[in-house]
Amino acid sequence: MTEKIHLGVLFGGRSGEHEVSLSSTRSVISVLDPGKYEVTQIGITHQGEWYSGPEALNYFEHGAFQNLDRVTFIPEPGKAILYKRVPQGESEKLIPITNLDVIFPVLHGSYGEDGTLQGLLEMMDIAYVGAGVTGSSVSMDKGVFKEIMRANNIPVVNWMICTRQQIEKDMNEVISRAEQMSTYPLFTKPANLGSSVGISKCKNRSELIEGVMEAARYDRRILIERGINAREIEVSILGNDNAQASIPGEIIPSDEFYSYRAKYLDGKSELLIPAPLSQEQIKQVQTLALRAYQATDCAGMARVDFLLDKDNGDLYINEANTIPGFTAISMYPKLWEASGIQYPQLVNRLIELAFERKNERDKSERIYKK
């Protein structure tokens, strides 16, 4: 018999998208073949504590952490071992639980999708699903991402970045700059978050002040960008250096925009798959998405989101999500299903790509020889 792959599934995290991560993880775990994978569930609390156990996801969903083991990794190359942390007097000892072959991070947002976790996994020298440190970090920060898009002649709407300190020091100056950049409506967003957490559509100055303050709750960097009368188009990317694009889909949000409520709560938003686009528009969306993926050195997967101006047909890239939602209603797996790859196949392929990327990394020499 072929030995099973020891797979660690990471979820939760120190992020406003913690609950979304739990939903995504439930879907991923449901399709993992028990004959192929030995699965270890590893959850991270809002406070950053790591726990594991056979039913860790269930306990996380009910906040019952006392039924789980405190765990940790040691960030050194070699065997990737998950250790149980056992109190011993005023210190603690580490007891090995299991060796892991590959990690599937299902952590949306900060401390999971932004390159921080990826750095730890690189230090451990273990295969993991998704983009590396660079692709994760530059895709996560909406301002940096737009700068890279502009440098590669990929169209983006006008935007500006302000910081929490600038807001606290002189809110009027920030608001004045935003109003000089564009007329209303304006959108305010935490630069480093997803799932529409902390996003506001602002139609006047008072709403803009409220929106900036709301976004500043979640990040020290705040994005303010021009609002357009847009259709929301999304495309899924799969692969490493030779990635492929799915057919595009369209979101018809139940709210004024695709808010957190419209995504996860009211169940009234529509997903149009495929999106009603011309062949020329489909090609343009797929081409720009792959260019963005390559420009940011992404790997494994991403969902790339676009804004299509209803008034003039102009297409703008909005953002790239390197750990997109995997819930039952999420666009990433639905687009691949419509493109011919079923959910279980998709998860298997992502794990294969993790090993492929690790093999490529291993070709790099770590010692300089003249």
Q: Are 100 and 8 in contact (CB under 8 A)?
A: yes
Q: Above 70 in pLDDT, residue 255? A: no
Q: What whole-number distance in Å separates Cα of residue 90 and Cα of residue 249?
A: 55
Residue 369 lies in a domain: no
Q: Is the pLDDT of residue 334 over 70?
A: yes
Q: Report the range out of 126-135, 245-254, 361-370 with the highest average pLDDT.
A: 126-135
Let me know whether 88 and 181 are in one domain: no
Answer yes or no: is 314 within a domain. yes
Q: Are residues 151 and 185 in the same domain?
A: no
356 burial type by CB count under 10 A (0-12 exposed, 13-18 middle, 19+ buried): middle
Q: Domain check: are 286 and 164 in the same one? A: no
Nearest to 121 by CA among 140, 136, 138: 136
Task: Report the number of distinct structural domains present in the chain.
Answer: 3
On whether both 122 and 57 belong to a single domain, the answer is yes
Tell me whether residue 366 is in a domain: no
pLDDT of residue 1: 46
- How much of the chain exceeds pLDDT 70, in percent? 95
Residue 31 has pLDDT above 70, yes or no: yes
Q: Calculate what percentage of the chain has a pLDDT beyond 90.
A: 85
Is 20 within the bounds of a domain?
A: yes
Encoded amino acid at 29, one letter: I
Cα separation of 54 and 44, whole Å? 15
pLDDT, mean of residues 152-169: 97
Strand 102-106 relative to strand 5-12, pairing: parallel
Contacting residues for 103 by C-beta, under 8 A, at least 6 apart:
7, 8, 9, 10, 80, 121, 126, 127, 128, 129, 354
Same domain, 107 and 149: no
303 plus 238 within the same structural domain:
yes
Q: How many CB atoms lie within 10 A of CB 143?
A: 19
Residue 28, both tokens = 């991923």
User: CATH number, domain at 242?
Assistant: 3.30.470.20
Dihedral angle of Cα 142, 146, 152, 156, to the nearest 10 degrees: 130
State pLDDT tens for residues 107-133: 998 899 999 999 999 999 999 999 999
Output the CA torsion sign for 360, 362, 366, 368. negative
Domain end point (choices 186, 204, 226): 226
Look up the CATH number of the domain holding residue 116: 3.40.50.20
Q: Are residues 113 and 262 in the same domain?
A: no
Is residue 322 situated within a structural domain?
yes
CATH of the domain at 183: 3.30.1490.20
Condensed to tens digits (0 to 9), the pLDDT of residues 72-101 reads 999 999 879 999 999 998 899 999 999 999
Residue 15 confidence class, pLDDT cut points 50, 70, 90: confident
Cα–Cα distance, 216 to 312 (Å, whole number)? 33
Per-residue pLDDT, averaged over 247-259, amounts to 78
How does pLDDT run across 124-157, given as a tens digit for each residue?
Answer: 999 999 999 999 999 999 999 999 999 999 999 9
Q: What is the DSSP letter of 64?
A: -
pLDDT greater than 60 at residue 261 = no
Q: Are 14 and 67 within one domain? A: yes
Q: Among the listed ranges 132-141, 218-227, 254-263, 302-311, which one has the minimum average pLDDT value? A: 254-263
Q: Which helix (DSSP H) or strand (DSSP E) does residue 140 occupy?
A: helix 133-140
Q: What would the two tokens of residue 362 be?
A: 């291993």
Mean pLDDT of the chain: 93
Q: Is the pTM of this model over 0.75?
A: yes
**One domain, residues 260 and 147:** yes
For residue 267, what are the domain limits? 139-155+230-360
Task: Pick the closest to residue 118 from 251, 299, 281, 260 (CA basis).
Answer: 299
Residues 206, 186 within the same domain: yes
Pairing of strands 300-309, 315-321: antiparallel
* Cα–Cα nearest to 106, from 203, 192, 23: 23
258 and 146 in a common domain: yes
CA pair distance 364, 125, nearest whole angstrom:
12
In this structure, is residue 133 part of a structural domain? Answer: no
Element (H, E) at 137: helix 133-140
Answer whether residue 309 shows pLDDT above 80.
Answer: yes
Residue 370 is assigned to a structural domain of this protein: no
Where does the pLDDT of residue 370 fall: very low under 50, low under 70, confident under 90, or very high at 90 and above?
confident
- Which residues, 6 or more positions from 179, have their beta carbon under 8 angstroms from its beta carbon? 205, 208
Whether 257 shows a pLDDT value over 60: the answer reads no
Distance of CA 350 to the CA centre of its chain: 14
Within this chain, do residues 259 and 341 fall inside the same structural domain, yes or no?
Answer: yes
Work out the average pLDDT over 57-86: 93
Cα angle, residue 319 at apex, residues 223 and 354 outer, rounded to 5°? 130
Q: Please say which residue of 210, 226, 242 terminates a domain.
A: 226
Of 226, 255, 270, at which residue does a domain stop? Answer: 226
State the average pLDDT over residues 247-262.
73
Check: CB of residue 73 under 8 Å from CB of residue 90. Answer: no
Q: How many Å is the Cα radius of gyration of the chain?
A: 21
Q: Given its phi and psi angles, is residue 239 left (phi above 0), alpha (psi -120 to 50 degrees) or beta?
A: left
Q: Is residue 60 part of a domain?
A: yes
Q: Is the pLDDT of residue 262 over 60?
A: no
